[in-house]
């Protein structure tokens, strides 16, 4: 499937530093994949709660990256499914903020076997959203 790559977006330094302060997580300028390196599956409930309190799009963006990584680290299939369904609703609600992130995790052009656990969910969601919006 050929998919047009959306405009690139990444977390801002301000949003990352605010999350570092809130969760007392490590951070250094060389941590290119910061949200993926520090996210903890046991904190997913806190991430959801903090996400729900946000109005700042940059913080929502970085929190979504943390949520996705935390989700991929959940081993229990029932817990994974429960949290995927919650995450899916947040993505649909704020798709304009997270479009590039969802594209990234969808790994279009790669075999599913070479991707993350969440990739099939992301691909299905991407297609559902794009077809409904005719974009």
Residues 61-85 have pLDDT tens digits of 999 999 999 999 999 999 999 999 9
In 3D space, the residue among 47, 55, 54, 108 whose CA is nearest the CA of residue 72 turns out to be 47
Give the Cα separation of 127 and 1 in Å (integer).
10
In 3D space, the residue among 83, 66, 94 whose CA is nearest the CA of residue 121 turns out to be 83
Q: Which residue has the higher pLDDT, 48 or 20?
A: 48
- Residues 112-120 have a mean pLDDT of 95
Q: By the 8 A CB rule, do 110 and 66 touch?
A: no
pLDDT at 21: 85
In 3D space, the residue among 54, 11, 13, 19 whose CA is nearest the CA of residue 38 turns out to be 19
- Residues 89-112 have a mean pLDDT of 96
pLDDT at 32: 62
Q: Measured between alpha carbons, how far is residue 14 from residues 10, 90, 125, 134 in Å?
A: 12, 22, 29, 34
pTM for the predicted model, two decimal places: 0.89
- Residues 42-60 have a mean pLDDT of 96
In 3D space, the residue among 84, 105, 127, 125 whose CA is nearest the CA of residue 35 turns out to be 105
**Band of pLDDT at residue 1, cut at 50, 70 and 90:** low
């Amino acid at each position: 499937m050929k998919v047009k790559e959306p405009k690139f977006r990444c977390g801002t330094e301000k949003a990352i530093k605010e999350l570092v302060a809130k969760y007392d997580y490590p951070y250094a300028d060389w941590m290119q994949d910061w949200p993926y390196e520090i996210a903890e599956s046991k904190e997913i409930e806190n991430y959801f709660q903090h996400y729900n309190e946000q109005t700042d799009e940059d913080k929502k963006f970085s929190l979504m990256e943390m949520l996705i990584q935390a989700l991929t680290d959940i081993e229990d299939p029932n817990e994974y499914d429960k949290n995927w369904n919650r995450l899916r609703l947040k993505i649909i609600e704020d798709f304009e903020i997270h479009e590039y992130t969802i594209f990234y995790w969808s790994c279009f052009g790669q075999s599913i076997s070479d991707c993350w656990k969440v990739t099939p969910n992301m691909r299905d969601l991407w297609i559902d959203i794009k077809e409904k919006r005719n974009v």
